[in-house]
Chain A
Amino acid sequence: GQQLNQSPQSMFIQEGEDVSMNCTSSSIFNTWLWYKQEPGEGPVLLIALYKAGELTSNGRLTAQFGITRKDSFLNISASIPSDVGIYFCAGDSSNTGKLIFGQGTTLQVKP
């Protein structure tokens, strides 16, 4: 089946550092979504991308829909302790409304 490869699997960074994570696929996706999940909570939508090449920001977060439609990245600038959590990318390739999820990137921020 279709898969999204998300990397890195985990990151341990110092407060104030910038963070970058990405998802790639062998298939074309029509939509890319980035979620953050904190322990014991559901995923919260951070950014939604609908067009190839689209670059969207949400505060310190920036995400891009790759030109090839097979990848997306999420950047977090000037990280703070509350950025801690698991970040998931998710994509919809078949217009079925079903999302394919990446494996998640666990982010830890040292104050």
Chain B
Amino acid sequence: DAMVIQNPRYQVTQFGKPVTLSCSQTLNHNVMYWYQQKSSQAPKLLFHYYDKDFNNEADTPDNFQSRRPNTSFCFLDIRSPGLGDAAMYLCATREKQRKTQYFGPGTRLLVL
């Protein structure tokens, strides 16, 4: 089945220790998104790729970076995680001509 896959599902890191979260998709969608979601809140868009074009949200901290080496994969790098970065991180994809976004299962990040 075509899907959006996120690994790992749970990630524990130490304060200040770089961490990378990964997302892959078998949908062959052009657009990929990274969201941060904190408890009982709606997802908050961090950035997205339209094909290879990177689009950063104005309020996304510099601590967050992303890479998209090919259509299928997208990575979220947190350079120096702080306690406030503990959250669920969601990847989503969209076909260029359509508006519907499909989400992965998320990676829950814990910062110690």
- Partner of A92 from B48, B99, B105 at Cβ < 8 Å: B99
In the bound complex, do residue B102 and residue A31 qualify as a contact, i.e. CB atoms below 8 Å apart?
no
In the bound complex, do residue B31 and residue A97 qualify as a contact, i.e. CB atoms below 8 Å apart?
yes
Interface string of B91-112 (1 = CB under 8 A from A): 0101000011111111010000
CB distance from A34 to the nearest CB of B (A): 11
By secondary structure, the B interface counts as strand
In the bound complex, do residue B48 and residue A97 qualify as a contact, i.e. CB atoms below 8 Å apart?
yes
CB distance from A96 to the nearest CB of B (A): 9
- Is B70 among interface residues, defined by CB-CB distance under 8 A? no
CB nearest neighbor in B for A98: B45
In the bound complex, do residue A30 and residue B42 qualify as a contact, i.e. CB atoms below 8 Å apart?
no
CB distance from A38 to the nearest CB of B (A): 10
CB distance from B110 to the nearest CB of A (A): 13
Q: Which residues of B contact A (CB under 8 A)?
A: 4, 6, 31, 40-43, 45, 48, 50, 90, 92, 94, 99-106, 108
- Count of A residues near B, CB < 8 Å? 24
In the bound complex, do residue B106 and residue A33 qualify as a contact, i.e. CB atoms below 8 Å apart?
no
Q: Which residues of A contact B (CB under 8 A)?
A: 30-31, 33, 35, 40-45, 48, 50, 86, 88, 90, 92, 97-99, 101-104, 106
Q: Which residues of B contact A88 (CB under 8 A)?
A: 42-43
Q: Which residues of A contact B99 (CB under 8 A)?
A: 30-31, 33, 48, 50, 92, 97
CB distance from B2 to the nearest CB of A (A): 13
Q: Which residues of A contact B92 (CB under 8 A)?
A: 42
CB distance from A3 to the nearest CB of B (A): 11
Interface hub of A86, A92, A99 (most chain B Cβ within 10 A): A99
In the bound complex, do residue B94 and residue A97 qualify as a contact, i.e. CB atoms below 8 Å apart?
yes
In the bound complex, do residue B43 and residue A33 qualify as a contact, i.e. CB atoms below 8 Å apart?
no
CB distance from B61 to the nearest CB of A (A): 18
In the bound complex, do residue A104 and residue B100 qualify as a contact, i.e. CB atoms below 8 Å apart?
no
In the bound complex, do residue B42 and residue A102 qualify as a contact, i.e. CB atoms below 8 Å apart?
yes
Q: Which residues of A contact B101 (CB under 8 A)?
A: 33, 45, 90, 99
Q: Which residues of A contact B50 (CB under 8 A)?
A: 97
CA distance A93 to B94 in the complex (A): 16
